[in-house]
Structure 1
Amino acid sequence: MRKSQSQGWHVLYVKSRHEKKVYEKLLENNLEAYLPLVLTERKWSDRVKKVLMPLIKSYVFVNINTAMDFYKALSVSGVCSYISFGNDYAIVKDEEIEKLKFLIEVEGISEISIKEETLCLGEHRVISSGPLAGLECEVLQIKNKSMVTVRLGALKQNVVATVPSEYLSEFSKAM
């Protein structure tokens, strides 16, 4: 089965800590590439230093215009594969790349990061948005990164629902 390939910004999955090297090689091969870098503080035992780190680890964006560009980018040392969903390669819209560039380059915006919060079974949370906003719940099942099955204790019944994980926020006793 052949994956569909089209023009636009594709997402390359690269070896760990090879993002900058892959980015430079893509530019050397006359390919339009983008690697969002953020200034972060790194601590060593003897010093603290500010370094540019990739915003999204192991990902580099490349603009593909021809089939030759597609295979040229894939042949760069350090590239593992293109990110795909089913039979389609992940395509990022030009507007999203521009917004990401704007976010990274604007003065005054700091502490940009990607947060991947992990949920634990049995954990108590509060639903912060959607039609069930404000209700306390218990995490019963984690279906994938974006969907979670919860039991709603606030209704005094065993009501079970599957909700997007971004609807959940930390549970505090002060509520």
Structure 2
Amino acid sequence: MNVKINTDTRKWYPVYTHPRAEKKAHTALLKKGIEAYLPLQRRLKQWSDRKKWVEEPLIKSYLFVHIPHHEQTDVLMTKGIARFIYFSGQITAMPDSQIEELKLLLSSSLELEVTEENLAPGEKIRIKAGPLKGINGEMIAYRSQKQLILRLESLGCSIIVNVAASYVGRL
């Protein structure tokens, strides 16, 4: 009896784009039929003569593709894509749960800040109320406020979110 191993399993992969090419690369991937996710955040930008709301990538020069392993070349052949992210000599994949948590964070009305600072791990917490209820993270002191750190280790960055202390409990 032959057993076929499914090598077509889709995984989320972070990809690095050329500077300021995130939106164009995302559009090009979608046109190719490749599932891609570009986390965008609305920000109020000020120029000398006006203010305007714009959508900017949450994590500069990054977007995420949901593909089987054999489509990696198609992604690299897309205009605006620079490379996949490697750790220990291998292309890194992200758990589906991290993408879902990122989508949940962006759908909330919380103001997010991304830092590439390697923040020291703190006390493990779980959010017990509000739009982020059920998300686990690490608590740190940052700018004299208590904030939740959702560590995205496969990207090498952290997302800092302002959360009321009453919404947080120990794990």
Matched with 2:65 is 62
User: Partners in 2 of 1:36 and 1:128 — Cα distance?
Assistant: 25
Matched with 2:95 is 93
Matched with 1:44 is 47
Question: Displacement of 1:111 after TM fit?
Answer: 1.4
1:45 aligned counterpart, secondary structure: coil
1:35 and 2:41 matched: no
> Partner amino acid for 1:105?
S
Matched with 1:153 is none
Q: Deviations over 1:117-170 (max 9, x none)?
A: 599xxxxxxx9957xxxxxxxxxxxxxxxxxxxxxxxxxxxxxxxxxxx96766
Matched with 1:23 is 26
Q: Kindly report structure 1 stretches of 4+ aligned residues shifted beyond 2 Å.
A: 115-119, 127-130, 166-171
User: Partners in 2 of 1:14 and 1:30 — Cα distance?
Assistant: 18
1:91 aligned counterpart, secondary structure: coil
User: Partners in 1 of 2:142 and 2:49 — Cα distance?
Assistant: 37
Kindly report which structure 2 residues correspond to 1:157-172, keeping only aligned pairs within 5 A, or say none.
none
Label 1:128 to 1:77 Cα distance change in 2 as closer, same or farther (>3 A). Answer: closer
Contact 1:128 1:168 in 2 (8 A): no
Question: Displacement of 1:87 after TM fit?
Answer: 1.7
Matched with 2:74 is 72
Question: Displacement of 1:57 after TM fit?
Answer: 0.3
User: Partners in 1 of 2:82 and 2:110 — Cα distance?
Assistant: 31
Label 1:45 to 1:128 Cα distance change in 2 as closer, same or farther (>3 A). Answer: same
Matched with 2:163 is none
Q: TM-score, normalised by structure 2?
A: 0.62
Q: Structure 1 stretches of 5 or more lacking a match? A: 1-5, 120-126, 131-165
Q: Structure 2 stretches of 5 or more lacking a match? A: 1-8, 124-138, 145-171
Kindly report which structure 2 residues correspond to 1:105-120, keeping only aligned pairs within 5 A, or say none.
105-106=107-108, 109-117=109-117
Bigger-Rg structure (1/2): 1
Label 1:112 to 1:29 Cα distance change in 2 as closer, same or farther (>3 A). Answer: same
> Partner amino acid for 2:12?
W
Q: TM-score, normalised by structure 1?
A: 0.61
State, as a whole percentage, how many aligned pairs show the same letter.
36
Q: Which structure has more strand as a fraction of its residues?
A: 2
